[in-house]
């Protein structure tokens, strides 16, 4: 690409004079100020760098999580927000322990091959010597059921359910497959399995396994659960198809310690006209232990802080109260989201709107909405403001896990929706690092989030 042959002579020409010529209003002026502030003097990218590089992984109950609480609290105080405070919440404290060991043993020829595994969050350990049993592959729960106790008893169940790459939206692929991670161990244990090995949640064929939450049912034996990379899953499956007995060995010494006191971190710009009408914008401060939690969800929390920072910086006095909330424990408990909603209920707070950014720090696509049709219609009136930034799609339902509990109070909920085709290469793996986040993409997300918060603050909902 050398020339710009008639390139992008846009109907949304962005010179300062013609900006938003079509939906001309005083809102346009503020929106241009927001955009310029974040693109020229934005701080979310450098804040994310600090969170990733100086603090790092932040699993609930960990030292990293504690540091992240202290630092974000300090950060928002330094920005001079009207109120900055911690909201106490008890969180689970699961620890991985030393690096897991996984091996595949071909009984016929005696070959032993190491495979990378990682314990799923919440799993029990194997005993210290590890666990060794015949491995049996199933694609899904139907196949598991068909095999039944007779075939499953005493074995390790290998769930090899691949992402359906014909789905366009990455979260749709994830949504289909994730149950084999969250409940695979529990289901396998019903038939007497001794452990479960789940194909990693990604559409990419990589050597890196990804973790994520799993859960048990107290009435069913708790068996160890791990993930195997997609590449190793393909290899193992090919080997199993050749027939012959195959043993899987895993050693994990993860454990669940007693709950720990932690916090949601909350910053606030108090509304000047309707201080009791609260607009909450947030992401989750905790991350998995394997990486820096850059896209998941350092991006979302730093964008949420940026919303308040940029509005304050351009001198905007919000009509309604704006809150940036760094939720704790989205990944393995949702205790922070639950506690936030519980406190809101207790204090009879009136949340008129909440938005979450927890789908990656990628370029904007639009917003998902869970609210009444008339509120959706009101928001859709503002669509043309968002299109120049790439946020065109207002058709989908949804919001975010942390703000989900507010739905019981009838709060209109929204999710920031980025283009996350690249998400599942890095999701819940050691690759979710700061380097994977692009500055402009992160900033574009922060801009459209700030615009939305501004518009709701000004116009109500």
Exposure class string for 245-279: b at 16+ Cβ within 10 A, else e: ebbbbbbbbbebeeebebbbbbbbbebeeeeebbb
- For residue 192, how many other CB atoms are within 10 A of its CB? 17
Cβ nearer to a second copy, comparing 268 with 419: 419
- Helix orientation angle between 26-41 and 299-313, rounded to the nearest 10 degrees: 120
398 contacts a second copy (rule: CB under 8 A): yes
Which residues, 103 to 142, sit near a second copy by CB under 8 A?
A: none
Q: Which residue has the tokens 């709701």?
A: 456
The C-alpha atoms of residue 461 and residue 413 are separated, in whole angstroms, by: 11
Q: Which residue has the tokens 């730093």?
A: 302
The C-alpha atoms of residue 280 and residue 353 are separated, in whole angstroms, by: 6
Cβ nearer to a second copy, comparing 350 with 438: 438
Residue-by-residue DSSP string for 147-196: HHHHHHTTSEEEE-----TT-SSHHHHHHHHTHHHHSHHHHHHHTT-SEE
Cβ nearer to a second copy, comparing 319 with 365: 365
The H or E element that residue 411 is part of is: none
- Give min distance, CB of 109 to a second copy, in A: 32
The C-alpha atoms of residue 322 and residue 308 are separated, in whole angstroms, by: 7
Report residue 451 as tokens: 């615009």
**Beta strands 101-106; 246-251: pairing state:** antiparallel
Which residues, 179 to 218, sit near a second copy by CB under 8 A?
A: 203-204, 212-213
Is 330 considered catalytic here?
yes
- Interface pick for a second copy out of 399, 429, 433, 457 (rule CB under 8 A): 399
Which residues, 20 to 79, sit near a second copy by CB under 8 A?
A: 35-36, 39-40
422 contacts a second copy (rule: CB under 8 A): yes
Catalytic residue among 43, 137, 330, 339: 330
- Interface pick for a second copy out of 71, 171, 235, 382 (rule CB under 8 A): 171
**Beta strands 320-327; 413-418: pairing state:** unpaired
397 contacts a second copy (rule: CB under 8 A): yes
- Give min distance, CB of 268 to a second copy, in A: 24
102 contacts a second copy (rule: CB under 8 A): no
- Give min distance, CB of 253 to a second copy, in A: 23
Residue-by-residue DSSP string for 407-454: GGGT--EEEEEE--TTHHHHTTSTT--GGGS-HHHHHHHHHHHHHHHH
Cβ nearer to a second copy, comparing 135 with 233: 233
389 contacts a second copy (rule: CB under 8 A): yes
256 contacts a second copy (rule: CB under 8 A): no
Binding residues for a second copy, rule CB under 8 A, total 71
Cβ nearer to a second copy, comparing 25 with 387: 387
Task: Please check whether residue 101 is in contact with residue 250, taking contact to mean a CB–CB distance below 8 angstroms.
Answer: yes
Cβ nearer to a second copy, comparing 12 with 235: 12
**Beta strands 255-269; 320-327: pairing state:** antiparallel
Give the chain's largest Cα–Cα span: 77
- Interface pick for a second copy out of 231, 239, 350, 438 (rule CB under 8 A): 438
Which residues, 299 to 338, sit near a second copy by CB under 8 A?
A: 330-332, 334
12 contacts a second copy (rule: CB under 8 A): yes
11 contacts a second copy (rule: CB under 8 A): yes
Report residue 43 as tokens: 């701080």
- Interface pick for a second copy out of 221, 255, 401, 409 (rule CB under 8 A): 401
Cβ nearer to a second copy, comparing 174 with 454: 174
Specify the stretch interacting with a second copy by CB under 8 A; choose among 68-76, 218-226, 422-430, 449-457.
Answer: 422-430
Q: Which residue has the tokens 């974000």?
A: 72
Q: Return the active site residues.
A: 330
């Amino acid at each position: 690409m050398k020339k710009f042959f008639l390139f992008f002579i846009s109907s949304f020409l962005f010179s300062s004079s013609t900006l938003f010529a079509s939906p001309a209003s005083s809102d346009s002026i503020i929106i241009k100020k927001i955009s310029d502030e974040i693109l020229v003097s934005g701080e979310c990218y450098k804040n994310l760098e600090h969170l990733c590089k100086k603090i790092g992984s932040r699993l609930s109950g960990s030292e990293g999580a504690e540091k992240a609480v202290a630092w974000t609290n300090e950060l928002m105080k330094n920005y001079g927000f009207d109120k900055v405070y911690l909201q106490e919440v008890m969180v689970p404290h699961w620890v991985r322990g030393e690096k897991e060991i996984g091996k595949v043993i071909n009984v016929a020829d005696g070959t032993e091959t190491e495979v990378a595994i990682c314990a799923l969050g919440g799993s029990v350990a194997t005993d210290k010597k590890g666990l060794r049993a015949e491995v049996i592959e199933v694609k899904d729960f139907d196949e598991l059921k068909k095999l039944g106790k007779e075939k499953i008893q005493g074995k390790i169940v290998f769930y090899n359910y691949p992402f359906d790459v014909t789905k366009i939206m990455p979260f749709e692929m994830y949504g289909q497959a994730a149950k084999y991670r969250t409940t695979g161990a529990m289901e396998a244990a019903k038939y007497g399995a001794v452990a479960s090995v789940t194909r990693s949640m990604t559409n990419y064929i990589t050597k890196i396994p990804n973790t994520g939450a799993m859960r048990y049912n107290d009435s069913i034996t708790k068996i160890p659960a791990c993930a195997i990379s997609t590449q190793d899953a393909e290899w193992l499956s090919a080997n199993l198809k050749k027939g012959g007995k195959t043993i899987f060995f895993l050693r994990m010494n993860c454990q669940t310690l007693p709950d720990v006191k932690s916090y949601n971190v909350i910053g606030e710009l108090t509304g000047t006209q309707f201080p009791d009408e609260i607009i909450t914008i947030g992401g989750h401060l905790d991350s998995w232990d394997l990486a820096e939690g850059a896209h998941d969800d350092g991006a979302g929390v730093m964008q949420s802080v940026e919303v308040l920072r940029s509005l304050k910086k351009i001198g905007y006095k919000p009509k309604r109260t704006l809150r940036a909330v760094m939720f704790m424990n989205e990944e393995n408990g949702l205790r922070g989201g639950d506690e936030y909603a519980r406190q809101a209920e207790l204090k009879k707070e009136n949340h008129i709107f909440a938005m979450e950014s927890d789908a990656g720090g990628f370029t904007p696509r639009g917003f998902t909405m869970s609210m009444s049709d008339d509120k959706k219609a009101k928001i859709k009136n503002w669509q043309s403001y968002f299109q120049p930034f790439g946020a065109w799609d207002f058709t989908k339902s949804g919001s975010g896990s942390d703000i989900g509990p507010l739905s019981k109070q009838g709060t209109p909920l929204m999710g920031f929706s980025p283009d996350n085709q690249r998400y599942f290469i890095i999701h819940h793996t050691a690759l979710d690092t700061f380097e994977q986040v692009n500055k402009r993409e992160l900033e574009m997300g922060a801009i459209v989030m700030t615009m939305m918060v501004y518009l709701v603050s000004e116009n109500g909902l």
